[in-house]
A and B are shown apart, each in its own frame.
Chain A
Amino acid sequence: MSVTHTMTVQDPIGLHARPVGQIVALVRESGVAVTLRDSSGKEASGSSALKMLAMKVKHSDTLEIVVDSDDDAAGLSLAKAVEALVNEG
């Protein structure tokens, strides 16, 4: 089972190095598989800094955050934590 959360990137320079580093740390700590997917279907694992940067996510892009979790509430809260890092990191 997985939880999918859709978000809009608000950071003016998109998804950049600093939040990517923080997302990797968060995802590793959670021990859960997290995938970021953009509107063109390009995907990156939330534990791969390189792949996330290579998605070249820009300001106002739409992103899907997919969390592999049976617990909907926990999955959604992890997805929202990732969203917060994307937009505030």
Chain B
Amino acid sequence: MDITGIGVGSRAVVGDVFVLNTSDEVYEHRPTRHTPAEEASVLATAIATTAAGIRDEASAGDDTTREILDALLTILEDPELQEMAKPYLDTGDDAPTALFKSLDEFAEMMGDDEDFLSRVGDLRGIAARISGWVRGIAAGPSIPQEGSWIIVAEDLTPLETSQFGSSVIGVITELGGPTSHTAIICRALSLPAVVSAKGAMQLKQGESVLVDPEGNRVVRGGSMSQATQALSFIPESDTPLITVRANIGGLADAEAAAATSARGVGLFRTEVLYLSAQSEPTLEEQVASYTEVLKAAPAGKIIIRTIDAGSDKPVPFLNLSEEENPALGIRGFRLNHDHPAFLATQLTAIAQAIDNTGRDVGVMAPMVSTAGEVEDFAALCAEAGITQVGIMIETPAIVSVLPDLEGLLSFVSIGTNDLSQYLFAADRMHPQLGALNNPWQPALLRTVKAVCDHGSRLGIPVGVCGESAADPLLAIVFAGMGVASVSAAPSAIESVSAALSSLSSSKAEIASHAALAARNATEAEAAVRALFA
């Protein structure tokens, strides 16, 4: 029986399941027959011993993981924590129980501190090892160094992924999405994975499975011959069906993109220039930065996106205050209300860089949701002398008012990541909502189609600059819907270009009809894949 999920990577692998779960006994609250003083000394020894062990294991790993683990260990080694544990020990809890209760108490004290919340799982993981040491239980068996294992878990924390050695050849997680920690690490380590795989925890220790990321599935007892073949497209023409551009964040990306077959830039994320600046760069500094990037960028049109920051992606000198829901807060073009001078300077700098280089440049605003915002942005661009004005399509609200924008815009570009998040009201980073953020979801595809139809009535080109366009099959589907250009990271340009050069526009239309007719994401992808298998 297959388990379906979201594939990460394209290489399939067969291996034996190693279930990485922590025994419940480790977390149990237990009373003790020993005195509080005896338990306190057990706790101190257990913390010191476990910390030394973890530091030792981490010493071979990368710097970031080691620093994170070190910070977490510092928290557990704090004598203050043992002070917090005392009242629990005094009422008869054993050392691990008191440790867990103190951590819970501390977590409660930290409230909604996001940095801390993102580490609580790791802290509890280390506490579980301490508990296992005290109680003589293996706190989640450690991964064998020999053999070829497929790690199966609910989700993985940095503490767990840091233990991956060469015996780990694949990963399956019940939770997580395409942008979760697990997916990012697996991509970085080139480990095939299937995340958001409902039913993964029913896999048995030691059973053989096929991890088939290309097929978004895990096959119990499957063999390599069943693996979904990565599609290979043989270019039949020199030019792709639609324009393929690069997504860049700065000079290094622009140079990398220039080495590919990308025809220009579909998304230049300008916030990268500001996120690390402590004070606002001067107009001259900004002009110099933009001129540099425009000069280096691949030949063709360049689309620049004005600053896309928010309280979760703060720009130090804009003093953005904390918000309950940063994704739904003051971000993108909404920043203009409180910081009009900033955007005016950015647009002036871009206009001067265009003059300096003579490049063909369009400028677009992120996160707009009303016609009024579009009018304001167009007026600001006109004032700065920018003639090609566009917007990002990220909110469902702007899609429905597109017909009102006649004459205001030269182009629009769809950011599929945010459009998914807002369309489904599903946090992109939420571990359990990965399936809703799957770009093959019919509601997302049909919304992209609606934007294409509005675009064609307005007589303006529609681009897709979200990560989904890096998938050659989706790029074909978009082309079939009437999208005029797609853009992707420099590393994905060649595969997307090859796919778009291998077929006729009528074949792309058939693919888009197949995707649009599907009733769920799995069906949509399977229907399109079947056309090219």
Interface set of A (CB-CB < 8 Å, partner B): 10, 12-14, 16-18, 20-22, 24-25, 48-51, 53-54, 56, 58-60
Please classify the interface of chain B as helix (H, G, I), strand (E, B), loop, or mixed, using the class held by over half of its residues.
helix
Contact B75 A49 (CB under 8 A): yes
Q: How far is the CA of A58 from the CA of B322 in the complex (A)?
A: 9
Give the distance to chain B from A36, nearest Cβ to Cβ, in Å.
Answer: 14
Task: Name A17's contact: one of B106, B111, B116 (CB within 8 Å).
Answer: B116
Which of B74, B106, B109, B114 is in CB contact (< 8 Å) with A20? Answer: B74
Are A16 and B115 CB-contacts (below 8 A) given A48-B80, A50-B106, A59-B314? yes
Question: How far in angstroms is the closest Cβ of chain A from B326?
Answer: 12
Given A54-B106, A58-B322, do A49 and B314 touch, yes or no (CB 8 Å)? no
| A18 to chain B: closest residue by CB | B71
Flag if B67 contacts A21 (CB, 8 Å). yes
User: B113 and A56: CB pair below 8 A?
Assistant: yes
Given A48-B79, A60-B319, A20 and B71 touching (CB < 8 A)? yes
Bound form: Cα–Cα A49–B79 in Å = 9
Query: Is B506 in contact with chain A by the CB < 8 A criterion?
Result: no
Give the shortest distance, in Å, between B113 (CB) and chain A (any CB): 6
B113 and chain A: residue at smallest CB distance: A56
Once bound together, how far apart are the Cα atoms of A60 and B319, in whole Å?
Answer: 8
Number of interface residues of B (CB under 8 A): 28
Q: Which 8 A-B pairs have the closest CB atoms?
A: A21-B71, A21-B74, A17-B71, A16-B115, A50-B80, A12-B314, A49-B74, A50-B78
Residue pair A50, B314 in contact (C-beta under 8 Å): no
Known contacts A16-B115, A24-B78, A49-B78; 17 additional CB pairs below 8 A are: A12-B316, A17-B72, A17-B115, A17-B116, A18-B71, A20-B75, A21-B67, A21-B71, A21-B74, A50-B75, A50-B78, A50-B81, A50-B106, A53-B75, A53-B113, A56-B110, A59-B314
How far is B110's CA from A54's CA once the two chains are assembled, in angstroms?
6
Separation of A14 and B81 alpha carbons in the complex (Å): 22
Looking at the assembled complex, report how far the CB atom of A49 sits from the nearest CB atom of chain B, in whole angstroms.
Answer: 5
Tell me the nearest residue of chain B to A13, going by C-beta.
B115
In the bound complex, what is the Cα–Cα distance between A52 and B161 (angstroms)?
Answer: 28
Tell me if B278 is interfacial: C-beta within 8 Å of chain A. yes
Dominant secondary structure at the A interface: helix
Assembly CA distance A42 to B34 (angstroms): 37
Q: Which residues of chain A come closer than 8 Å to B111, judged between CB atoms?
A: 56
Contact partner of A14 (CB less than 8 A), chosen from B68, B75, B84, B115, is B115
Query: Is A21 touching B110 in the complex (CB atoms < 8 A)?
Result: no
B321 to chain A, nearest CB (A): 9
Q: How far is the CB of B149 from chain A (nearest CB, A)?
A: 30
From A48, which residue of chain B is reached at the shortest CB distance? B80
Q: Which residue of A lies closest to B67 (CB)?
A: A18
Cα separation A20 to B72 with both chains bound (whole Å): 10
What residues on A are CB-neighbors of B109 within 8 Å? 54
Sample of 26 A–B contacts (CB below 8 Å): A14-B115, A16-B115, A16-B116, A17-B72, A17-B115, A17-B116, A18-B67, A18-B68, A20-B75, A21-B73, A21-B74, A22-B71, A24-B74, A25-B74, A48-B78, A48-B80, A49-B78, A50-B78, A50-B80, A50-B81, A54-B106, A54-B110, A56-B110, A56-B113, A58-B322, A59-B314
Question: Do B80 and A51 touch across chains, with their CB atoms under 8 A apart?
Answer: yes
Point out the residues of chain B lying under 8 angstroms from A16, CB to CB: 115-116
Assuming the contacts A17-B68, A17-B72, A21-B67, asked whether A53 and B314 have C-beta atoms less than 8 A apart, the reply is no
Expressed in whole angstroms, the Cα–Cα distance for A12 and B114 within the complex equals 12
Please, what's the 1-or-0 string for B309-345, where 1 marks a CB less than 8 Å from any CB in chain A? 0000010100100100000000000000000000000
Beta-carbon nearest neighbor of B275 in chain A = A12
CB distance from A40 to the nearest CB of B (A): 16
Complex CA–CA separation, A61 to B84 (angstroms): 27
Residues of A within 8 A of B67 (CB): 18, 21
8 A Cβ contacts from B64-117 to A = 67-68, 70-75, 77-81, 84, 106, 109-111, 113-116
Q: Which residue of B lies closest to A59 (CB)?
A: B314
The CA of A17 and the CA of B240, in the complex, are separated in Å by: 48
Report the separation of the CA atoms of residues A21 and B67 in the bound assembly, to the nearest whole angstrom.
9
With contacts A51-B80, A58-B322 known, is A17 near B314, CB below 8 A? no
Tell me the complex Cα distance, A20–B123, Å: 15
Question: B301: CB under 8 A from chain A?
Answer: no
**Which residues does chain B contribute within 8 Å of A14, judged by CB atoms?**
115
Residue of A10, A13, A49 with most chain B CB atoms under a 10 A cut-off: A49
Minimal beta-carbon separation of B231 from chain A (angstroms)? 41
Interface centre among B67, B68, B114, B314 (most CB of A within 10 A): B67
CB-CB < 8 A to B74: which residues of A?
A: 20-21, 24-25, 49
Q: How far is the CA of A58 from the CA of B319 in the complex (A)?
A: 11
- Give, as a whole number of angstroms, the nearest-CB distance from B401 to chain A: 34
Nearest CB on A from B59, distance (A):
16
Give residues of chain B (110-138) contacting chain A, Cβ–Cβ below 8 Å: 110-111, 113-116, 119
The answer to whether residues A17 and B119 also contact, given A10-B278, A54-B106, A54-B110 and a CB cut-off of 8 A, is yes
Give complex CA distance A60, B322 in Å.
12
What per-residue 1/0 map shows which CB atoms of B290-319 lie under 8 Å from chain A? 000000000000000000000000101001
Complex CA distance for A1 and B110, rounded to whole angstroms: 33
Query: Is there an interface contact between B116 and A53, defined as CB atoms closer than 8 Å?
Result: yes
User: What residues of B have a CB within 8 angstroms of the CB of A53 in the complex?
Assistant: 75, 110, 113, 116
In the complex, which residues of chain A have a beta carbon less than 8 angstroms from the beta carbon of B75? 17, 20-21, 49-50, 53
Chain A residues with CB under 8 A of B114: 13
